[in-house]
Structure 1
Amino acid sequence: MSQTLIQLQGVGVRIAGQAVLQDVQLSVQPGQIVTLIGPNGAGKTTLVRAVLGLLKVDTGSVWRKPKLRVGYMPQKLHVDPTLPLSVLRFLRLVPSVDRTRALSALAEVGAAQVIDSPLQGISGGELQRVLLARALLREPELLVLDEPVQGVDVSGQAELYRLITRLRDRHGCGVLMVSHDLHLVMSTTDQVVCLNRHVCCSGHPEQVSGDPAFVELFGQDAKALAVYHHRHDHEHDLHGQVLPDAPAAGLRIHGAVQPHVHGDDCKHA
């Protein structure tokens, strides 16, 4: 347990008399990306709330590393349109954050240019990066990301997932991520946990995608998921536009067919 960040054993939760989670086992290690997948109503958000200590479990145990620093990125953020809140003021709601720290965090996620923009006026991709910067300002040992690419187009989603991987590599933090984007997230995670109130299957992405429980849960089309390498000779900005003189980046995507309009050199594995 010395290296473990969180450990759930036999966790069960009942809400209004109904079993929402049953006998869930889960752990996250430093430098590991663990992704929760599952249909709506599978208990993913409930499990995240249990991990964060916002919800008391009815059975089992939730262990956290003592004094564990957690950075949380919510699925949605609603800000009243009449509230005069800039990105900088939003980030400074985190204790001990000044403009220099806020700008550094935004630069790390590729959103430094929005620091003085109204929070309500930035794009979906920019907002997700701001929320990620806010999570990083807590200097987390564990990042908990609930649908981190919500409201972002496909090219922006791929870049955000690559960014999350780079942040993991740079900071050595563990990542617990909730996602519905199977074809993208399967290539950017170390372990997949397929949840449907209980853990249906778990393991490396290639193992899970071929598991009968996974196929039963997501349908026969899930059998078509396959791994191939998609090698970019460019990167995209927040809006999906090609960045000039950007270094090459590699992306592994699971999917039978991925449309491509940028003229990249695709090599299939």
Structure 2
Amino acid sequence: MSLIAAKHLSVAHEGLPVLRDVDLSIDKGEIVTVVGPNGSGKTTLLKALLGAVKPTSGRIERAPGLVIGYVPQKLHVDHSLPMTVRRFLDLPKRAGNAAAQAALDSAGAGDLGARQMSSLSGGQFQRVLLARALLLKPDLLILDEATQGLDPPGSAAFYRRIEEVRDEVGCAVLMVSHELHVVMRASDRVICLNGHVCCEGAPEAVSAAPEYRALFGEGADVMAIYRHEHDHTHDHSHDHSHPDPA
């Protein structure tokens, strides 16, 4: 059984259709990325899977006892309030010191516990949000454009960390991303969304699909080029001799 599945899912907002007849499923251990233009319903899809938006038709099926960890696109923290990373991980539910440190380590933020939240770089902040989600020991990790605002090296490093989390924790990952040049690297499967599922499958198949190219035009070639280059460098992608950029 899939961890989570949408069956003929449709969602409307103020009477206007946002999603229509969407079918998708996420299986244990896989990394699935949803891509699509602005306004294509990507975030609405995530909200429906999380239970924050009610379908107008269709349904969401979840495996019994499914635990979901969520990393939002952004989170406002009042910088006028002093708060360490460790204290932040106690919200809304207190975490044990060992569990908090383990989550920070998994997220690549193991040395940030004593830092003030207001002093973190964008990449560090996103890794702390990832650690907060990992505290739940999720079966499924959902990320909504979690690298938005990061520079390309920071984004690439974050995606590498997500791959490592999947391998270490064994959770499935569902991501929404607009970064076509890096999404190939971390994805087992890509879903192209534009109100409905235009195409889906292995990254190479989706990047070659006419539906995908009609939406992204020249951007589709960027993905193909990135994949080609990655094929020649993949053996070095997990080289830990150099720290990931923040």
TM-score (normalizing by structure 2): 0.92
Output aligned runs, 1:54-203, within 5 Å.
Answer: 54-203=52-201
Moved more, 220-229 or 79-88: 220-229
- Quick one: distance in 2 between partners of 1:238 and 1:223? 26
Q: Say if 2:235 is the partner of 1:237.
A: no
Report the alpha carbon displacement of residue 84 of structure 1 after superposing the two structures with TM. 2.1
Q: How big is each residue's C-alpha offset from its partner over 1:15-70, in whole Å with a ceiling of 9 and x where there is no partner?
A: 01110000101100000111000011110010000000011100111001112111
Q: 1:96 to 1:89 in 2, by over 3 A?
A: closer
- Quick one: distance in 1 between partners of 2:242 and 2:158? 11
Report the alpha carbon displacement of residue 81 of structure 1 after superposing the two structures with TM. 1.8
Q: How big is each residue's C-alpha offset from its partner over 1:191-246, in whole Å with a ceiling of 9 and x where there is no partner?
A: 1000011111100000000000000000144245232222546533333xxxxxxx
CA contact (8 A) 2:8 2:59 kept: yes
Aligned to 1:26: 24
| SS of residue in 2 equivalent to 1:47 | helix
Q: Which letter maps to 2:206?
A: V
Q: How big is each residue's C-alpha offset from its partner over 1:103-152, in whole Å with a ceiling of 9 and x where there is no partner?
A: 22112222122211111210001001101101100000000011121222
**Structure 1 vs Structure 2 CA RMSD:** 1.4
Greater RCO (Cα-Cα under 8 Å, separation 6 or more)? 2
- Quick one: distance in 2 between partners of 1:175 and 1:221? 24
5+ unaligned residues in a row in structure 2: which ranges?
none
Identity %: 49
Moved more, 225-234 or 92-101: 225-234
- Quick one: distance in 1 between partners of 2:91 and 2:42? 27
Aligned to 2:214: 216
Q: Which letter maps to 2:245?
A: L
Moved more, 94-103 or 20-29: 94-103
Q: Which letter maps to 1:205?
A: P
Q: 1:210 to 1:117 in 2, by over 3 A?
A: same
CA contact (8 A) 1:156 1:236 kept: no
| SS of residue in 2 equivalent to 1:176 | strand
- Quick one: distance in 2 between partners of 1:126 and 1:223? 31
Tell me which protein shows more helix as a share of its residues. 2
- Quick one: distance in 1 between partners of 2:139 and 2:49? 14
TM-score (normalizing by structure 1): 0.84
Q: Which letter maps to 2:66?
A: L
Q: Which letter maps to 2:244?
A: D
| SS of residue in 2 equivalent to 1:131 | helix
Report the alpha carbon displacement of residue 94 of structure 1 after superposing the two structures with TM. 4.7
Paired residues in the alignment total 237
Structure with larger Rg: 1
Moved more, 168-177 or 91-100: 91-100
Aligned to 1:42: 40
CA contact (8 A) 1:10 1:60 kept: yes
- Quick one: distance in 2 between partners of 1:109 and 1:203? 28
CA contact (8 A) 1:35 1:178 kept: yes
Q: Which letter maps to 1:218?
A: F
